[in-house]
Amino acid sequence: MSRGPIERLPEHDASNLNRNMQHKEALSLRLALGSILGPKRPFTPSTSSHSSSGTASPAHPVTFGLPVSPGMPPPPPASTPIHPPLDGRFDYLHPRHVFVPPPPSRLGHPDSAKELHWPMGSPWTSAPSSTPMSPHVTTSQSASPMDECPPPLALPPPIVDHPTPPKRPSVHAPKPVSAPPVVPAAHSAAGSGSGTPKAKFLETLDSNRAWDALIHGSFSRYASKEMAHLFSPANRFYTWRSLWLNLAIAERELGLPVTEEAIEQMKANLDLTPEQFEIAAQEEKKRRHDVMAHVHTFGTVAPAAAGIIHLGATSCYVTDNADLIFLRTGLPYLIRSLGVLISRLSVFAEEYRALPTLGFTHFQPAQLTTVGKRATLWIQELLWDLRNIIRARDDLGFRGVKGTTGTQASFLALFDGDHDKVETLDKRVTELSGFTYAYPVTSQTYSRKVDIDVLAPLASLGATAHKIATDIRLLANLKEMEEPFESTQIGSSAMAYKRNPMRCERVCSLSRHLMVLHQNALMTSSVQWFERTLDDSANRRITLPEAFLTADIVLSTLQNVSEGLVVYPKVIARRIAQELPFMATENVIMAIVKAGGDRQEAHEQIRVLSHQAAHQVKQLGLENDLIERIRAEPYFDPIKGQLDELLDPASFVGRAPEQVDAFVRDWVTPALAPAEIQGAIQQSQKVELSV
């Protein structure tokens, strides 16, 4: 009997509304966390188009999840749809923010330089810093349909740790900071009341260093706080401001009209407050240019410098030079971490220098080696990676001040044709920024071959780490060796007995990603047309941070594994006993020849007995009884007293223990001798993984 369509009762409107609210709030939290470094499709109003100008990437707006100020538009009436239309017409700043399309950008026009000066009465100069206002909504607007909406929900004002930032001199590198707070995971929860996950999340966002935690979402699970901070928005824009300060200092020293007051105001405001992030986000939304957005934002807190910030420079002065600073800062961190890992594995190699283990070729049983000798194979490749990363660090230069196409034409005009002053400016800014030299020639950007040279040793490190982790995973299957396994750790939600090598699996997973990132650098460099194209920008914003964050995670995870490797000698001995009789046959043949026997006859005797023993093992599932068969064969009576000695596993490992000693003494110790690495080893602690 056929059935008609099943009738479903309509769901209650309240349940739909509640589910939609939960979905929307979860979406807003996810967007706030994930939109910091990830590339975003630029907002394109459906009614008009705005062209991007300048050289900064328009595909990566800086957006943040701060609460809206009381001056922002209130929420729409309840009758309007809960979900925004999927055409880009929603704002990442807050789910209640209603976007008003900005006027066309004036950037790129001949008179755009005038925009460096903030007009009196602008929203940014007239509004209190604690309540930043939208550039499109002011308190003097006439009544509109929005005015009839209910008032917005009261939200706590942003918390500023330092209302008056302390003065700081010109910096040579990104400042070290204490560990940033951990942003709580965003759970979908209806409402924003006190104690809800969303309320706690927003409260965390209000802290001055919350931005340090808003690093690429996929890395927040594993990355170290130091490396995450290095590539955080807070540190990136701090570095931009430091570069503008260094440029202003050098220009003042060479006679350009830069006042001492301007310098002091810039020094005092290198850190961005959450309110300034909000201003910069609104500026970028209006101007479609991240660098100019931050030029204007910096000018609001350093008004005496507003007219000279970025003087003579192009966008790549801050973006490229900042990237080089990040590379120069990140490489030593990886060098120190790699040195610690090599040190840990060397201790392991020395401890097990003489423990025989079955070697494998083609993953088939081969001659014996030792557990420690196998570890030296891992260490040797890590030493090569260490050498290559040090070389990349030492070769790294600075872009300097080169102008829009690398000719320094703008600076030559500023100094009235004085070539010496232009060269001095370039050298002075390079020195203030902590570099020993600048690349002698550049286009608008530094050559993207530099990125290739930096990412190549990181990709090579990924290959080494993958090989090490794979070896450990295979040994875990053989039950000869295991990575650390906590007493309360769960290997499988279904199979309670499982002891999965999840840390080494993580290393393999991330190492593959690290190896692939180098391909991005190769392709990006190959398609840079003439003096530059912008299709490198969005790619590099992802590739460079991810390469360093991934390498950092791989090294810390491998260090954790190396500090807790568990070796099972009895399992190793049992497997040796299963295979050694076959391997010992050559020694048996040589011994019988020394006792006066015939080599060919001995070979035939061993061949027959070996095949009989193999039949026992493979066809009947019994133990290997080759030695018992040899003992029972009268032909081998002359050497039966030597069989135990001939079967000693230590006699099959050759010079493996001595090779370990020589390798550690002659290669590892000198490589770890530099003070930088020795200091890291002495100060290092065991890595404790949170997951």
Catalytic residue among 49, 142, 362, 487: 362
Q: For the purposes of burial, counting CB atoms within 10 Å of the CB of 534, is it exposed (0-12), middle (13-18) or buried (19 or more)?
A: middle
Dihedral, CA of residue 634, residue 636, residue 638 and residue 644, to nearest 10: -120
Predicted confidence (pLDDT) at residue 127 exceeds the cutoff of 80: no
Work out the average pLDDT over 368-388: 98
Choice among 439-453, 483-497, 673-687 with the minimum mean pLDDT: 483-497
143: left (phi over 0), alpha (psi -120 to 50) or beta: beta
Give the sign of the dihedral formed by CA 496, CA 500, CA 503, CA 509.
Answer: negative
Q: How many whole angstroms separate alpha carbon 306 and alpha carbon 106?
A: 18
The whole-angstrom distance between residue 637's C-alpha and the CA centroid of its chain comes to 66
Predicted confidence (pLDDT) at residue 119 exceeds the cutoff of 70: no
Residues 6+ apart with CB under 8 A from 133: 69, 71, 72, 123, 124, 127, 139
CB atoms inside a 10 Å sphere around CB 498: 11
CB atoms inside a 10 Å sphere around CB 78: 8
What percent of the chain lies above the pLDDT cut of 90?
55
pLDDT in tens, 493-542: 566 555 788 999 999 999 999 999 999 999 999 999 999 998 889 899 99
pLDDT in tens, 439-475: 999 999 999 999 999 999 999 999 999 999 999 999 9
Work out the average pLDDT over 55-73: 40
Both structure tokens of 389: 């990363």
More confident residue, 343 or 165: 343
Work out the average pLDDT over 647-666: 95
The pTM is what?
0.69
pLDDT in tens, 317-334: 999 999 999 999 999 999
Q: How many whole angstroms separate alpha carbon 507 and alpha carbon 513?
A: 10
What confidence score (pLDDT) does residue 617 get? Answer: 87
What percent of the chain lies above the pLDDT cut of 70?
66
Choice among 155-169, 207-221, 254-268, 360-374 with the minimum mean pLDDT: 155-169
CATH 1.20.200.10 fits 315-399+442-570+667-683, yes or no: yes
Both structure tokens of 253: 């020293």
More confident residue, 20 or 357: 357
pLDDT in tens, 33-43: 444 344 433 43
Both structure tokens of 63: 């957006």
Q: Would residue 362 show up in a list of annotated catalytic residues for this protein?
A: yes
Nearest by Cα to 396 from 350, 355, 436:
436
Predicted confidence (pLDDT) at residue 117 exceeds the cutoff of 80: no
* Helix/strand/coil (H/E/C) assignment for every residue in 645-680: HHCCHHHHCCCHHHHHHHHHHHHHHHHCCCHHHHHH
Work out the average pLDDT over 577-590: 87
Angle 576-577-583 (CA atoms, 0-180°, nearest 5)?
A: 70
CATH architecture of residue range(s) 585-646: Orthogonal Bundle (1.10)
What confidence score (pLDDT) does residue 647 get? Answer: 87
Predicted confidence (pLDDT) at residue 427 exceeds the cutoff of 70: yes
Q: How many whole angstroms separate alpha carbon 230 and alpha carbon 328?
A: 11
Q: How many whole angstroms separate alpha carbon 4 and alpha carbon 78?
A: 37
Domain locations in the chain as residue ranges? 26-40+56-76+88-100+113-134+150-161+193-313, 315-399+442-570+667-683, 585-646
Angle 469-474-476 (CA atoms, 0-180°, nearest 5)?
A: 95
CATH architecture of residue range(s) 26-40+56-76+88-100+113-134+150-161+193-313: Orthogonal Bundle (1.10)
Nearest by Cα to 171 from 396, 349, 322, 332:
322
Q: Do 339 and 680 meet the contact criterion of CB atoms below 8 Å apart? A: yes
What confidence score (pLDDT) does residue 114 get? Answer: 38
Confidence of residue 120 (pLDDT cuts 50, 70, 90): very low
51: left (phi over 0), alpha (psi -120 to 50) or beta: beta
446: left (phi over 0), alpha (psi -120 to 50) or beta: beta
Nearest by Cα to 326 from 435, 169, 168:
435
* Helix/strand/coil (H/E/C) assignment for every residue in 501-549: CHHHHHHHHHHHHHHHHHHHHHHHHHCCCCCCCHHHHHHHHHHHHHHHH
What confidence score (pLDDT) does residue 487 get? Answer: 56
Confidence of residue 219 (pLDDT cuts 50, 70, 90): low
Work out the average pLDDT over 354-359: 96
Work out the average pLDDT over 263-275: 95
Confidence of residue 380 (pLDDT cuts 50, 70, 90): very high
pLDDT in tens, 615-631: 988 899 888 888 899 99
Nearest by Cα to 669 from 276, 347, 225:
347
Predicted confidence (pLDDT) at residue 402 exceeds the cutoff of 90: yes
Predicted confidence (pLDDT) at residue 193 exceeds the cutoff of 90: no
Q: Do 48 and 201 meet the contact criterion of CB atoms below 8 Å apart? A: no
What confidence score (pLDDT) does residue 499 get? Answer: 76
The whole-angstrom distance between residue 274's C-alpha and the CA centroid of its chain comes to 24
Catalytic residue among 492, 526, 611, 615: 492
Predicted confidence (pLDDT) at residue 215 exceeds the cutoff of 50: no
Work out the average pLDDT over 258-275: 96
